[in-house]
Structure 1
Amino acid sequence: MKKNKVIFWVATVIILLWEGVMPLATMLFAPEYVNAGTKPLGYPDYFAYVLIICKVLGTFTIAYPKMPVKLKEWAYAGLTFSLIFAFISHACVDKNIAYMLMPLAVLGILAVSYLYNNKIQHNG
């Protein structure tokens, strides 16, 4: 049981830092770089701000232990869609293999967090 919690928290902290803290820090302390990842893909400037807010809310929901399970499911789903569409956007627009693989790597870590969250919930 302890092993499951450790794996869950390691994966979740990585997601929290990568998808929540880093974008929020960029928005607060380096706003000139907020749309550095979305602008080259053709998205409007406001899209980056909306995406950051949703990522921060989603990662907080996943990391906060007392959140309702239904809400966590929605947060996992939202982050999953975000990462899948990031992969698709990079595959269609810039075709840079590194930019295409990064969302898939983060998606893998998110999947580990999700799977171990379910193990913890079902095993007490």
Structure 2
Amino acid sequence: MKKNKIIFWIATAIIILWEGIMPLSTSLFMPEYVTVGTRPLGYPDYFAYTLIIFKVFGVLAIAYPKAPAKLKEWAYAGLTFNLIYAFISHVCVDKNIGFMLMPLVFLGILALSYFYKDKLTSV
């Protein structure tokens, strides 16, 4: 039980930092860098701001222990779609292996968080 909880919170903390805090802090403290990742892929500027908003809401739903289970499921699904489409965008547009692998690494961490969330609730 304790091992499951530790693995869940480490994986979840990485997701919170990468998908929630980093984008939010960039938009607040360095707004000129908000669209650095999306503009070269051909997305409009408002898309980057929308991503930030939904990533922050997603990690809040995942991290808040009393959030309804359905909300957590939607948050995991939304972040999963985000990472899958980030991978696809990099494959189709810039073909940079580093940019392609990064979303897959975080998708694996997100899957670990999801898997151990289910282990915690089933005990």
1:100 is the counterpart of 2:106: no
Shift of 1:117: 0.2
Shift of 1:67: 0.4
Question: Distance in 1 between the 2:77 and 2:34 partners?
Answer: 23
Corresponding position of 1:40: 40
Question: Distance in 1 between the 2:42 and 2:32 partners?
Answer: 17
The one-letter code sitting in structure 2 at the alignment partner of 1:74 is: W
Counterparts of 1:45-124 in structure 2 under 5 Å? 45-123=45-123
Question: Distance in 2 between the 1:71 and 1:96 partners?
Answer: 34
Question: Distance in 2 between the 1:101 and 1:29 partners?
Answer: 27
Corresponding position of 1:5: 5
Q: What SS does the aligned partner of 1:67 have?
A: coil
Question: Distance in 1 between the 2:94 and 2:48 partners?
Answer: 18
Shift of 1:77: 0.1
Question: Distance in 1 between the 2:27 and 2:67 partners?
Answer: 25
Corresponding position of 2:18: 18
Q: What SS does the aligned partner of 1:117 have?
A: helix
- For structure 1, which runs of at least 5 residues remain unmatched after alignment? none
Question: Distance in 2 between the 1:104 and 1:30 partners?
Answer: 26
Question: Distance in 1 between the 2:32 and 2:93 partners?
Answer: 22
The one-letter code sitting in structure 2 at the alignment partner of 1:35 is: T
Question: Distance in 2 between the 1:50 and 1:89 partners?
Answer: 17
Shift of 1:74: 0.2
The one-letter code sitting in structure 2 at the alignment partner of 1:9 is: W
> What RMSD in Å do the two structures reach over aligned CA positions?
0.3
Once the two structures are superposed, residues 78-97 of structure 1 have per-residue CA deviations (whole angstroms, 9 ceiling, x without a partner) of 00000000000000000000
Q: Displaced runs of 4+ in structure 1, greater than 4 A?
A: none
Q: What SS does the aligned partner of 1:40 have?
A: helix
Normalised to the residue count of structure 1, the TM-score between the two structures is 0.99
Question: Distance in 2 between the 1:52 and 1:118 partners?
Answer: 26
